[in-house]
Amino acid sequence: MEFLQPATANPTDRQQVLGHAHPRIEGALKTTGTAHYAYERQDVTGLQLVGYPLGAGIAKGRILSMDTAAAEAAPGVHAVITTLQMDPLPKHKNNIADLFGGSRIHHYHQAIAVVVAESFEQARAAAQMIEVEYRASHLTDFDLAAAHDKNPDKAGKTLSRVGDFDKAFAEAEVTLDAHYRTPAQSHCMMEPHASIAEWRDGKLTVWTSTQMVAWTQKALARTFQLAAEDVRVDSAYIGGGFGGKLWLRADAVLAALGARQTGRPVRVALPRPLMMNNTTHRAETYQRIRIGAGRDGRIAAIAHDGLSSNIPGGHGENPVDQTRHFYAGANRLMTLRMVNLDLPEPNSMRAPGEGAGMMALEVAMDEMAEKLGMDPVEFRAINDTQVDPENPERAFSDRHFVRCLREGASAFAWADRNIVPGARREGMWLIGQGMSGGYRKAAVMKSGARVTLRADARVLVEADMTDIGTGSYTIMAQTAAEMLGLPLDAIEVRLGGSDMPVSSGSGGQWGAASATAGVYAACLCLREEIARRMGNSDPAALTLSDGQVTSGDKTVPLAQIASAGEITSEESMGFGALQKEYLIATFAAHFAEVAVHVATGEIRVRRTLSVCDAGRIMNPMTARSQVIGGMVMGIGAALSEQIEVDTGRGFFANHDLAGYEVPVHADIPDQQVIFLDTEDPAASPLKAKGVGELGISGAAAAIANAAYNATGIRLRSYPLTLDKML
């Protein structure tokens, strides 16, 4: 069914199970080690072999020869499969760079061989014995490439133009023209990319760690030239993704190749040191932001020019998009330019676009507020808009950004802040407070589910939805419980199988709203069948509550309805109409307090607060976990995360968790999250939006603005490492 009208009264309004905090229903399985992740799957028949991947040692060029004799003769080795043994494998449209096959190298650590052996150690040892000869040349220096770019459109592609920016900017009473830089970043999810593959009668089964089961199934079918129904994908548990597991990657391809050649199940995990260069990353950006305003603080002109590293045909970072819609202003100009490098493929990382774009925009807003002599909270509030500034005919479906600002300022005691930068000192520490706005689009994707009411009045919910650690299992169970008037523990949820109804998968913070809409749709169908069995053709006249179903003056236990045979309903919810009619997004105000050491320049975060407007919150516990996780990633983006390009050798030099520094517990202080009690009937039947990427969007800028307030030093290049503070 299609979601065509803003949601009206429906069973999920009761909010008896939805809207309440519940720990994750699969949590105990994970904490006791009984939830088996892809690499650990024990239910694969046959003795497993282990594949170890070999990555290219150059950034770009050609393999001249590979000598595998020593590896083949090494103990325990069953197969050595090299990229020279086959043409480039066909690619699904989601994959930009080649995953395997052929002699051409497009990026460092591109997979060029897999050694399959009895044990991990034997496979790894043999892989190191392969001798490779290359011819190489590369360009991985972003500054050099940008300067010498042959692209005639040096000003960048115009994404949108409204009014006359140049004129309005020239005439504005107060102006800002500032440049910002954000580095390349890596997802660094806890569980690496990992797969077990098995072939039986020409059919392929892959237990893998993916955010998108149906995409992975299609991509494997394309790669191995199979019909989609001959590929089974199972991704029941996933240890994080952050956008790095949206696409088929080399682990699954190498496992499938190894299993095909040896006739045994083969498992392959990408070793951590290979992940940075072998998989995708968030691209580096330069951004120029110009804002012109009147003395009253109203923005008259705003321009955002983005420049991102990329590969041909790739998905570099677009840091400009949110600036098109977030703040008012009659004259606007947004441009984006991509520069191709011989680096690994850039692609989605948590809040692609906003993730990097708001790191710049929200510092620019802070700088502009200071120039105007205005409180940054007031400056943002005065430039709020309830309609798309690019198209005033198109309204935001539901936007309470000003409430986020006001409630945040109050909860954070913003009024007590010291306004003069560098003026508050405690011992060796300078103390500062900063804030930022948060904006992230609320995308949705068509999502299906199958719901079965069993004779024991228990309900099974199935979908190929993934739970990447976010709480999908739990909120889908809550949705079914609410729709059918059952307690949460009467619902069983099975996810991640390609033989289940196709769902939205997890990405772009679309999972929560989309996947629960699929469950809602399937439950509506189930309610119709229940009504029919009650001899009532109108499911709306049905009440399901406390395990009982009431129709007219008749009340019977739900179990009795199913005793005549279990009922299965499958349905999906499609979106589109309302997404065109309205601008649907999520909003936040982030606040941060930091301490900066006067001698070393070290920045310590002392407390953070995010106030979020994301429609109905389905589960305040799992939603809060998503937001604080985003805020932690924002702290990492502000203070430590960057992949360093070795332009000499053409690779990301810091390719493990020792060299790529994500925040650890000791870096994270008291975090507070407040959800506004809003509902957005245009967003989904549950009047809910996602929060998985809202927490990171803008969070880093709040830290940067607090560091400025502490020290009076304005940094425009992330991360804010101590060398830049001195």
Residues with a catalytic annotation lie at: 693
CA-CA distances (angstroms) from residue 261 to 51, 114, 120, 490?
12, 11, 18, 45
CB of 603 to ligand MOS, least distance (A): 26
Between 443 and 491, name the residue whose CB sits nearer to ligand MOS: 443
Instruction: Output the CA torsion 388→394→397→398 (10° steps).
Output: 40
The reply on whether position 445 binds ligand MOS by CB under 6 A is no
Choosing from 125, 349, 517, 534, the residue that interacts with ligand MOS (CB under 6 A) is: 349
The reply on whether position 508 binds ligand MOS by CB under 6 A is yes
Of the candidates 556, 409, 56, 466, the residue with the CA atom closest to the CA atom of residue 235: 466
Give the interface segment with ligand MOS, choosing from 92-100, 349-357, 561-569, 589-597 (CB under 6 A). Answer: 349-357
By beta-carbon distance, which residue lies closest to ligand MOS? 243
What does DSSP say about strands 77-82 and 49-55: parallel, antiparallel, or unpaired?
A: unpaired
CA-CA distances (angstroms) from residue 163 to 169, 388, 630?
11, 14, 35
Question: Within 152-171, which residues bind ligand MOS (CB under 6 A)?
Answer: none
CB atoms within 10 A of CB 32: 8
The reply on whether position 507 binds ligand MOS by CB under 6 A is yes
Of the candidates 360, 369, 357, the residue with the CA atom closest to the CA atom of residue 179: 360
CB of 504 to ligand MOS, least distance (A): 11
Give the interface segment with ligand MOS, choosing from 35-43, 94-102, 283-291, 346-354 (CB under 6 A). Answer: 346-354
CB of 512 to ligand MOS, least distance (A): 13
Number of residues that bind ligand MOS (CB under 6 A): 11
CB of 349 to ligand MOS, least distance (A): 5
Between 433 and 447, name the residue whose CB sits nearer to ligand MOS: 447
**What is the C-alpha end-to-end distance of the chain, expressed in Å?**
59
Rounded CA-CA distance 568/565 in Å is 10
Pair 174, 292: CB distance under 8 Å: yes
Give the interface segment with ligand MOS, choosing from 326-334, 344-352, 388-396, 554-562 (CB under 6 A). Answer: 344-352
Question: Within 211-250, which residues bind ligand MOS (CB under 6 A)?
Answer: 211, 241-243, 246
In the block, residue with structure tokens 């020409």: 202
Half-sphere exposure of 687 (CA within 13 A, CB side): 19
The reply on whether position 505 binds ligand MOS by CB under 6 A is no
Choosing from 82, 208, 348, 397, the residue that interacts with ligand MOS (CB under 6 A) is: 348
Rounded CA-CA distance 4/2 in Å is 6
CB of 696 to ligand MOS, least distance (A): 10
The reply on whether position 350 binds ligand MOS by CB under 6 A is yes
CA-CA distances (angstroms) from residue 289 to 357, 367, 482, 685?
10, 11, 47, 38
The reply on whether position 637 binds ligand MOS by CB under 6 A is no
Between 110 and 348, name the residue whose CB sits nearer to ligand MOS: 348
Between 211 and 626, name the residue whose CB sits nearer to ligand MOS: 211
Question: Within 78-107, which residues bind ligand MOS (CB under 6 A)?
Answer: none
In the block, residue with structure tokens 């012109």: 292
Side chain identity at 194, as an amino acid letter? A
CA-CA distances (angstroms) from residue 490 to 10, 449, 567?
21, 17, 15
The reply on whether position 283 binds ligand MOS by CB under 6 A is no
SS (H, E, C) 670-702: EEEEEECCCCCCCCCCCCECCCCCCCCCCHHHH
Between 140 and 209, name the residue whose CB sits nearer to ligand MOS: 209
Between 107 and 350, name the residue whose CB sits nearer to ligand MOS: 350
CB of 699 to ligand MOS, least distance (A): 15
Between 569 and 625, name the residue whose CB sits nearer to ligand MOS: 625
CB of 466 to ligand MOS, least distance (A): 10
Choosing from 51, 352, 574, 615, the residue that interacts with ligand MOS (CB under 6 A) is: 352
Between 408 and 438, name the residue whose CB sits nearer to ligand MOS: 438
Half-sphere exposure of 611 (CA within 13 A, CB side): 21
The reply on whether position 353 binds ligand MOS by CB under 6 A is no
Between 314 and 507, name the residue whose CB sits nearer to ligand MOS: 507
CB of 348 to ligand MOS, least distance (A): 4
What does DSSP say about strands 447-453 and 459-463: parallel, antiparallel, or unpaired?
A: antiparallel
- Residue 300-339 contact track with ligand MOS, rule CB under 6 A, x = bound: ----------------------------------------
Between 218 and 350, name the residue whose CB sits nearer to ligand MOS: 350
Residue 461's SS3 state is strand
Of the candidates 51, 63, 57, 54, the residue with the CA atom closest to the CA atom of residue 112: 54
Structure tokens at 686: 């549950």
Structure tokens at 492: 């069983």
Rounded CA-CA distance 479/304 in Å is 41
CB of 212 to ligand MOS, least distance (A): 9
CB of 311 to ligand MOS, least distance (A): 18
Give the interface segment with ligand MOS, choosing from 250-258, 342-350, 635-643, 663-671 (CB under 6 A). Answer: 342-350
Pair 330, 162: CB distance under 8 Å: yes
Pair 318, 289: CB distance under 8 Å: no
- Residue 172-211 contact track with ligand MOS, rule CB under 6 A, x = bound: ---------------------------------------x
- State yes or no: cis peptide before 719, omega within 30 of 0: yes
CB of 459 to ligand MOS, least distance (A): 29
Of the candidates 111, 386, 56, the residue with the CA atom closest to the CA atom of residue 268: 111
Between 212 and 596, name the residue whose CB sits nearer to ligand MOS: 212
Looking at the chain, the number of H-run helices and the number of E-run strands are 19, 31
The reply on whether position 630 binds ligand MOS by CB under 6 A is no
CB of 241 to ligand MOS, least distance (A): 6
Side chain identity at 638, as an amino acid letter? A
Between 182 and 335, name the residue whose CB sits nearer to ligand MOS: 182
The residues near 648 (Cβ < 8 Å, ≥ 6 apart) are none
Put residue 61 in one of left, alpha, beta given phi > 0 → left and psi -120 to 50 → alpha. Answer: left
Structure tokens at 595: 């301490």
Pair 573, 514: CB distance under 8 Å: yes
CB atoms within 10 A of CB 513: 32
Query: Interface residues with ligand MOS (CB under 6 A)?
Result: 211, 241-243, 246, 348-350, 352, 507-508
